[in-house]
Structure 1
Amino acid sequence: MTEQELIARARGAALKAYAPYSGFSVGCAIESVDGEIVTGANLENACYRLGLCAEQSALTTAQHAFGLDKVKRIAVAGGDGSGDALAGAAPVTPCGGCRQAILEAAHLAGRDIVILAASGDGEAVERLTIEAILPHGFGPKNLEDGA
């Protein structure tokens, strides 16, 4: 699957988001090392703190579908999802909590995970890695000395 195809899946997932409070729809598509694709979208709640990020939604689906240790790369896109197509010019990157969850998958997989941070319209894309956007992160590898 090409980067643009994976981003298109993330943009499509964003159109399924439930974002009535912020109006900011986010979608995420995850590709496994075997080429399997899962998606997720943000889910807001009137009690704002109980919302769910697109990345967390997709990572949960990935765990059930093929396991976090098989995550290869992730595409995230977000913007105005109120129309027929996702809109927005700025690339969307994972929040801090989602970066931590992606780091967990990277540690389990034993590899740095590529993140394609795309704008809502899909025109702007930043190619990042979890190690670059969460340097010195704390994850499963750090717990090895505790046993």
Structure 2
Amino acid sequence: MKKMEEQIDIDQLIAAAAAAREKAYTPYSDFKVGAALLLADGAVTEGCNIENASYGATVCAERVAILKARSENPEAQIRAIAVVTQSESPSPPCALCLQVMAEFCAPETPIILANTGGKRLTYRFDELLPHPFTKSLL
């Protein structure tokens, strides 16, 4: 994990996600995705998508980064997430990733979507998933 300054440096977070994207294993779709999380302690955790011939076993970059962060530090708190794809318009996380984010992100957590061409969109988590399934419903 790398350290990042207290203020969210969006350019640096996107660069970390872009670097993670280069490590993606995508022999079936060739759709590489990188994600980077800024944690409350200033650390940055990265993840990339990893495909599998049994498509259901494929893991998205966002989930790789979140699970990696939590497995390395069970107290990790996510301050921001950047996701980089090659699509023409920056791609939002899939529904499964949004559900995992619901477990570990606050409603106001910034989700920064970027593409390799430099386009960016920023949303609050609750804009992407306004009605998450959470423990309060159990």
Higher helix share: 1
Per the TM alignment, residue 66 of structure 1 is displaced from its structure 2 partner at its CA by 3.0
The residue matched to 1:116 in structure 2 has which SS?
strand
Give 5+ residue unaligned stretches, structure 1.
80-87
| Map of 2:110 onto structure 1 | 114
Counting aligned pairs with the same residue, the percent is: 34
Contact 2:114 2:121 in 1 (8 A): yes
Per the TM alignment, residue 67 of structure 1 is displaced from its structure 2 partner at its CA by 3.3
Q: Give the whole-Å Cα distance in 2 for the aligned partners of 1:120 and 1:93.
A: 14
Contact 1:91 1:118 in 2 (8 A): yes
Per the TM alignment, residue 141 of structure 1 is displaced from its structure 2 partner at its CA by 3.1
Q: Give the whole-Å Cα distance in 1 for the aligned partners of 2:72 and 2:79.
A: 14
Which of 114, 119, 126 lines up with 1:124 in the alignment? 119
Contact 2:25 2:51 in 1 (8 A): yes
The residue matched to 1:77 in structure 2 has which SS?
strand
Give 5+ residue unaligned stretches, structure 2.
none
Q: Give the whole-Å Cα distance in 1 for the aligned partners of 2:15 and 2:54.
A: 30
The CA RMSD over aligned residues, in Å, is 1.5
Give per-residue Cα distances to partners, 1:17-59, cap 9 Å, x unaligned.
0001001000000010111011000000111111000011001
Aligned residues: 131
Contact 1:26 1:77 in 2 (8 A): yes
Q: In structure 2, what residue type is equivalent to 1:34?
A: D
Structure 2 length-normalised TM: 0.88
Q: In structure 1, what residue type is equivalent to 2:65?
A: A
| Map of 1:15 onto structure 2 | 22
Per the TM alignment, residue 89 of structure 1 is displaced from its structure 2 partner at its CA by 3.4
Contact 1:116 1:128 in 2 (8 A): yes
Q: In structure 1, what residue type is equivalent to 2:48?
A: A
Per the TM alignment, residue 112 of structure 1 is displaced from its structure 2 partner at its CA by 2.6
| Map of 2:135 onto structure 1 | 140
Structure 1 length-normalised TM: 0.83
Q: Give the whole-Å Cα distance in 2 for the aligned partners of 1:126 and 1:45.
A: 29
Larger Rg: 1
Structure 1 residues 98 and 115: alpha-carbon distance in aligned structure 2, compared to 1, 3 A threshold:
same
| Map of 1:85 onto structure 2 | none
Give per-residue Cα distances to partners, 1:40-98, cap 9 Å, x unaligned.
0000011111100001100111102333651111000112xxxxxxxx43212100000
